[in-house]
Amino acid sequence: MKLVRTLGRAVGLAARAAPGALAVLVALTVAAAAVPVVAAWFTKGMLDELASPRPAWSALAGIVAGLLVAGLVGAVQPHLSEYVQEDLGRRASLVAQDRLYRAVNRFQGLGRFEDPDFLDRLRMAQQTGQETPGQIILTALGLVRTSVTMVGFFGMLLVVAPQMAWIVVLGAVPTFVGEVRLARRRVRTTLEITALERRETFYARLLGDVAAAKEIRLFHLGDHLRRRMRRDRTSINLLHRRMDRWTLLTQGGLALAAAGIAAAGLFWAVRSAVAGALTVGDVSVFVAAVASVQTSLGAMASGLAVGHQHLLIFERYLDVVRAGPDLPPAGSPRPLPGLRRGIVLRDVWFRYSDDHPWILRGVDLTIPCGQAVALVGVNGAGKSTLVKLLCRFYDPTRGAILWDGVDLREVPVESLRERLSGIFQDFMHYDLTVRDNIAFGDLAVADDERAVTRAAERAGIHTVLAGLPNGYDTMLTRLFADDSAQAGVVLSGGQWQRVALARALVRDQRDLLILDEPSAGLDAEAEYEIHHRLREHRAGQTSLLISHRLGAVRDADTIVVLDGGVVIEQGDHDTLVAADGHYARLFAMQAEGYATVGAHR
């Protein structure tokens, strides 16, 4: 029943995408199914009339006209069907793609994107789900066509030779069973091959990837990866060869059995015609019907197996499209006021699941309005996780985050994020123009040239960007290059960091600015310049700073030290240094490193 419901949803999607094309395709399919049956019946009548002692021209004229119409329909139908199929496929694919990414955009958090099982379903939906509805429709219509043709010829057999009709059907049962088993084995083989092909594709991508090219050549990895890829391709070929042998043995044996039944039937039909029990036309219908019924049963078995596979794939697509909210929606949403007092984390605990360790453990923290708070600590202390909770990419496992006393879980996610801006440690490189890379921070100012350039100036990157071949319209990638004039450019890591910072700064006048390692990819001079610019920009603005370089955050109003998901110290720089605790030790270690470098010079 589940597969039937899945089929209904696929048909429903196609019907919404192109109802006219679907109706025309159904009509063309029925016509195509009827043509061979009608042509065989008219041929029988013509042969019987020609074999009679006195053929009637009037009867022959009608038969010839019928054969002519059937021939015209048979000649035109494939071309019309192909045209309508392509149109239906494109329209259904467009609707399926739009539904898929509408569903993906409804996921407000990050949990689904960090879940390997869900990512597997999403990748399958992306790779095949968009084309599957059209394939399901075509497979279903193919089964309809085969069924109509088979029923028509079976009916003709019942008229000509009832006993032989049932013998042919029973003789075709082994073919049906054999094809079903063959199709199931083919599906299992495909699943085995898919895993190997995924790994083979990974190696192929590595060998042709510019990002991997340096290490592959430095460490002489090319031949090693090529051999691994060749090993996987050899395994794939072995599975294909095994499947081909099984197909040859199965279909060859079934073909011999079918040929034996057809030969026996033909011998019976000829003897009956000699004895006067059958006419010449009856013999022609019998031959056509036997071949058609046997072929149709085999085609139905293959079609059912292929359709079953398409439906299973489409179910993965539906799993994504019909997935519920990843973050619990607010029961009675509350408006989110502009920040006036501050943000409070009250006894916040967090872990990704019950099987994972705690990342944050009982964090109590206040980010006062208008002040800069810095988070510091070693890798894995929980700094970036805390940022995810503030953006509500996840909800706390325990505790609450309050915005002027309002729990973030009680307000619409969109309202919260409209009040935030920031740069993440793993910021994005968009393979688009300079303008897009900055304006994506606030689409409302995408057409405001001054707002975009002002953000670039604040990030200290305007001069570089304005000097590119096409200025702010230069593509920051060579991926889409179609000629040397529009080849695009590739920025350095530090330049990309500044572009990402500009993207955060173009989103102006927000209540909270989050800067997660905003200068990690910059040299010392550029880092100093950026932090000087940021101090000016965030003066009087509520901001959260995260950095491994303690000198970059020493001017923050409050510095919070995280260790093992726990707040172990907080205060301003001077207070924490005077306390001679964890922060003082880390600061001294970093300062000693700089002092050592200076002494060696």
**What CATH number has the domain bearing residue 467?**
3.40.50.300
Domain that holds residue 440: 427-509
pLDDT of residue 343: 95
Same domain, 518 and 455: no
Cα separation values, 83 from 109, 131, 141, 144, Å: 42, 16, 15, 19
Contacts of 328 (CB under 8 A, 6+ apart): 395, 409
Same domain, 493 and 347: no
pLDDT of residue 600: 47
**What CATH number has the domain bearing residue 6?**
1.20.1560.10
Domain final position from 286, 321, 356: 321
Same domain, 79 and 135: yes
pLDDT of residue 593: 60
Could you report the per-residue pLDDT of 268-327, keeping only the tens digit for each? 878 888 888 777 877 887 788 777 877 787 777 778 777 877 887 888 888 889 988 888
- Alpha-carbon gap, residue 459 to 331, rounded angstroms: 41
Residue 211 lies in a domain: no
Residue 300 lies in a domain: yes
Same domain, 89 and 176: yes
User: Quick one: tokens of 276?
Assistant: 């006067």
Same domain, 560 and 442: no
- Alpha-carbon gap, residue 105 to 414, rounded angstroms: 12
- Side-chain half-sphere exposure of 156, counting CA atoms within 13 A: 29
Contacts of 31 (CB under 8 A, 6+ apart): 73, 77
Q: Are strands 342-350 and 420-423 parallel, antiparallel or unpaired?
A: unpaired
Same domain, 454 and 311: no
pLDDT of residue 483: 52
Residue 359 lies in a domain: yes
pLDDT of residue 51: 77
Contacts of 132 (CB under 8 A, 6+ apart): 10, 96, 310, 313, 314, 317
Same domain, 496 and 520: no
Residue 193 lies in a domain: no
Residue 222 lies in a domain: no
**Alpha carbon 600 to chain centroid, angstroms:** 54
Residue 144 lies in a domain: yes
- Alpha-carbon gap, residue 280 to 296, rounded angstroms: 24
Q: Over the range 450-477, which residues count as b (16 or more CB within 10 Å of their CB) and which as e?
A: ebbbbbbbbbbbbeebeebeeebebbbb
* Helix, strand and coil percent figures for the chain, each rounded to 5: 65, 10, 25
Average pLDDT, the chain: 85
Same domain, 538 and 444: no
Residues of the chain with pLDDT under 70: 171-172, 187, 481-487, 521, 593-601
Same domain, 399 and 528: yes
Q: What is the pTM of this model?
A: 0.77
Domain final position from 509, 532, 564: 509
Same domain, 596 and 546: yes
Residue 239 lies in a domain: no
pLDDT of residue 465: 94
Tally of domains within the chain: 3
On whether the CB atoms of residues 354 and 378 are closer than 8 A, the answer is: no
Same domain, 115 and 131: yes
Residue 148 lies in a domain: yes
